Amino acid sequence: MTERITVNASQNEDGPQMPSWMDEDAVTYAQAGVDTAEGARAVEAIKGVVHDTYRPEVVGDIGGFGGLFSIAAAKDMVDPLLVSGTDGVGTKLKVAQLAGKHDTVGIDLVAMCANDILATGAEPLFFLDYVAIGKLNAENMAEIVAGIGEGCKQAGCALIGGEMAEHPGVMDPDDYDLSGFCVGVVDRVKMLDPAAVREDDVLIGLASSGLHSNGYSLARKVCVEGKTHYELRIEREELGGASLQDALLAPTRIYVKPVRAVLEACPNAVRALAHITGGGITENLNRALPENVDAQVDLGTWPVPPIAKFVCGAAHLDESEALKTFNMGLGLVLIVDPERADEVEAALAEAGEQTYRVGRIVSGAAGVRYANDGALYGYEAN
């Protein structure tokens, strides 16, 4: 039988010198680096933001062990399917931390999840977040969650729960990471499906607001590392008068409301859609294709944002590398019945979207090809 031995630090005279707070047997959670009082203050600070996102289906309030949400939204559907997505913001957070600006990355978090489930045609219903942080600061946490709340309002989903986890000794005090989880619903008979895509279908692109939340490891390496805070805040003509910091922190666009409006107004006109995230156009548009066709993208048919040009120039990327790294100005691409493309564009315009016809579907093998080599930056408005 193994004997259990208990060592009292205060009695172990031959042991290493312990910190002063270990001279007694009791060690509090706060002494270990976790401030539960600050956590409670942070929860209180975000309650208003959370309540502002609520939909009628939300049951109860934050603070319980689980978020409750009625599935009444599915009651009139023929065959309702729940659709879920999870994602994070990535190293764009390092730019936010350097800038001390935390109120937009929450929008990015919701966008990455909500836009993904939109690719099935789903309506986002509710969202949960997870924030891991080195040292909890209620004011900074309130900024982050305010952004998450704003993202939820843009997506039309409710923020029904989350977690704030303090990680002393694992993360630096000012460091934090975000992840999120979104659940939506779609009627199977109305679901967008790559299997429906046909040769000669039209590609309609919706503009991005910049880099969105992808490619930031490269962007930071060529645009941020070695720069002073002053250099990052200088307004630059090549960025349309924005500073590098502000251009890099422009939040990801959330396309849920305009696209859902079009799906309702133009039933069966949109075959599939692709959310252009990590991997750029090259490695995302193919995810919306069946095995017997390619997407032919015509370069020069949409404007590339100044920040994308700036980063690609700083990194000396050729067209091919740029198109598989960044969204290059297209945050979402819809694949549309060619006979109804005008109708879809009109509905998108009614919803406030600027659209671009950026190509078509051709015979192939589920790949993305490009026409007009060398014309990526050559867009001219009509």
Residue 287 has pLDDT above 60, yes or no: yes
The mean pLDDT value for 241-245 works out to: 96
CA angle 274–93–158, rounded 5-degree value = 60
- Structure tokens, 106: 């929450």
361 within 8 A of 351, measured Cβ to Cβ: no
Predicted pLDDT at 7: 33
Dump pLDDT digits (tens) for 146-179: 999 999 999 999 999 998 888 988 999 889 999 9
Dump pLDDT digits (tens) for 36-91: 666 666 677 678 888 999 999 999 887 788 999 999 889 899 999 999 999 999 99
Dump pLDDT digits (tens) for 292-350: 999 999 999 999 999 999 999 999 999 999 999 999 999 999 999 999 999 999 999 99
Of 128, 130, 117, 120, residue with least CA distance to 53: 128
The model carries a pTM of 0.90
| Residue 160, beta-bridge partner list | none
- Structure tokens, 9: 């630090």
- Structure tokens, 246: 């502000």
Contacts of 25-34 with C-beta under 8 Å, sequence gap 24+, read 32/168, 33/135, 33/166, 33/168, 33/169, 34/166, 34/168
Dump pLDDT digits (tens) for 98-144: 999 999 999 999 999 999 999 999 999 999 999 999 988 888 888 99
The 3-state DSSP class for residue 126 equals: strand
Q: Give the least confident one: 5-9, 125-129, 140-144, 255-259.
A: 5-9
Dihedral sign for Cα atoms in the order 359, 362, 368, 371: negative
Residue 4 has pLDDT above 80, yes or no: no
Domains of the chain: 33-65+77-190 (3.30.1330.10), 194-372 (3.90.650.10)
Q: What is the DSSP letter of 71?
A: -
Q: What is the DSSP letter of 52?
A: H
The residues, ordered by sequence, that sit 6+ positions from 343 with a Cβ below 8 Å of its Cβ are: 266, 269
Predicted pLDDT at 212: 97
DSSP string, 174-190: T-EEEEEEEEEEEEGGG
How far is residue 198's CA from residue 216's CA, in Å, rounded to a whole number? 35
DSSP string, 300-363: TSSPPPHHHHHHHHHHT--HHHHHTTS-TTEEEEEEE-GGGHHHHHHHHHHTT--EEEEEEEEE
